[in-house]
Amino acid sequence: MAIFSCGFSIFIVVVALVATPIYSKLPLPSPEELAQIPLEFLHFAKNQEIFDWMVGIRRNIHENPELGFEEYQTSELIRAKLDQLGIPYKYPLAETGLIAYVGTGMPPFVAIRADMDALPLQESVEWEHKSRVSGKMHACGHDAHVAMLLGAAKILKQYPHQLQGTVVLVFQPAEEGLGGAKKMVDAGALENVEAIFGLHVSVDFPIGSVALRSGPLLAGSGFFEAVISGKGGHAAIPQHTIDPILAASSIIVSLQHLVSREADPLDSQVVTVANFQGGGAFNIIPDSVTIGGTFRAFSKESFIQLKERIEEVIKRQARVQRCNATVIFNTKEKPFIPVVVNDEGLHEHLRKVAGDMLGSKNVIERKPLMGSEDFSFYQEAVPGYFYFIGMYDQTPLESGHSPFYTLNEDVLPYGAALHASLATTYLLRNLHSKPSPTSPTHDEL
């Protein structure tokens, strides 16, 4: 038997032999009935009581932001809400993450995911629920993502008769560059899962719309740091020094040539040096400087080549200026993030569900972005789909990773309903496409 924690209670999943697979007898809903599910879920999510419940969760998390792998208070809040809903969960995974289960406990299994971490920014938005933690804020909408996933859990518990399988709720830590998704996968978060969906709020699209794309959507990304060492001395006698600032400047210019002169113009790549530290006085040449940045590409092959060339250019250009260079990729703390590639079959599923809920005119094809998302680690394990949900509504909103970032809370019902609808209809549509279970099964979680 498997044991699932739910607050102070222990949920014991009873294993029982089933002589006849009951799911082989269940009728598949008609297309018309399937189309009604998203509308019904959205109507429920827009109920004032449900909306206020999600808003309260989002604001609580926003006031108490936590960085990657530090989301202890956030995780505690999530578990408390799951306890109230009577939903069992496994905790901890990947330090502060958890997964919860809604449904029959039987196949098929489908997952929906939310990230939980904040950013190291000082919030500059003046409102009642401003961050209470100096130097930390939710500037990317992860607080809303958690509220939406809990909202989806509430919907799924309200409509148990619609669940012909099991929905796995994935609450993930450390999305912002730390690869929390990889640790969740390594911890078994996707065990038995056949597909996974994830979303991100977006200021680029209107409220009540979704933006999607089949195939590559977000770039693979990595970080690098280089220490360029020379010989310091007085700025008035540079002939007695080996200037690492000059060497670093040459390196930065040469790194830009990797994209402009070595990459196929039709193969999007980016190399950005965003950090330059060196020197502490106007008249002293330092012994060393440090530069750092990011590189991105839309294919694994291009990404690997870019990494190799970055290291080569830094070291060789340093030698041209009589300096030495050490290049650090530090993948242990900041792992390379794979390309987000959306599954073609799931693309059609999302298009259908979103169209049924929002109308086909509000399902928008979007262009690829050079941003990255560690949701790609899930996609390396199972078919997955990542999409954007619009929240623009007349008033311009600041884009993510800004201290002036604001969130339109009217997006919450749409995210919750889409999560629940995608999972529910996926289970129904895939119920009879899988072999009937012949091994021991267990009752509802």
- pLDDT tens for each residue of 133-166: 999 999 999 999 999 999 999 999 999 988 999 9
**pLDDT surpassing 80 at residue 436:** no
pLDDT at residue 433 in the model: 58
Q: What is the mean pLDDT of the chain?
A: 91
Note the maximum CA span of the chain: 90
Segments in 187-343 forming alpha helices (H)? 244-257, 300-320
pLDDT at residue 29 in the model: 82
Instruction: Report the C-alpha gap between 158 and 168 in whole angstroms.
Output: 16
Q: Provide the token pair at 364.
A: 């928008």
pLDDT at residue 434 in the model: 52
Q: How confident is the model at residue 31 (pLDDT cuts 50, 70, 90)?
A: confident
Element (H, E) at 313: helix 300-320
Q: What is the mean pLDDT of residues 278-285?
A: 95
- For residues 155 and 211, is the Cβ–Cβ distance under 8 A? no
Angle at 87 between CA 81 and CA 92, to 5 degrees: 75
Q: For the segment 392-408, what is each residue's pLDDT rounded down to a tens digit? A: 998 888 999 999 999 99
Task: Return binding residues.
Answer: 140, 142, 176, 200, 401
Closest CA to 54 of 407, 431, 425, 424: 407
pLDDT at residue 59 in the model: 98
pLDDT at residue 10 in the model: 37
pLDDT at residue 5 in the model: 52
**pLDDT surpassing 60 at residue 442:** no
**pLDDT surpassing 50 at residue 14:** no
Instruction: Report the C-alpha gap between 48 and 375 in whole angstroms.
Output: 31
Task: Return binding residues for Mn(2+).
Answer: 140, 142, 176, 200, 401
Q: For the segment 332-359, what is each residue's pLDDT rounded down to a tens digit? A: 888 999 999 999 999 999 999 999 999 9
User: For the whole model, what pTM was predicted?
Assistant: 0.88
**pLDDT surpassing 50 at residue 388:** yes
**pLDDT surpassing 90 at residue 126:** yes
pLDDT at residue 6 in the model: 47
Task: Give me the domains of the chain, ranges plus CATH numbers.
Answer: 3-216+339-442 (3.40.630.10), 220-328 (3.30.70.360)
- For residues 131 and 399, is the Cβ–Cβ distance under 8 A? no
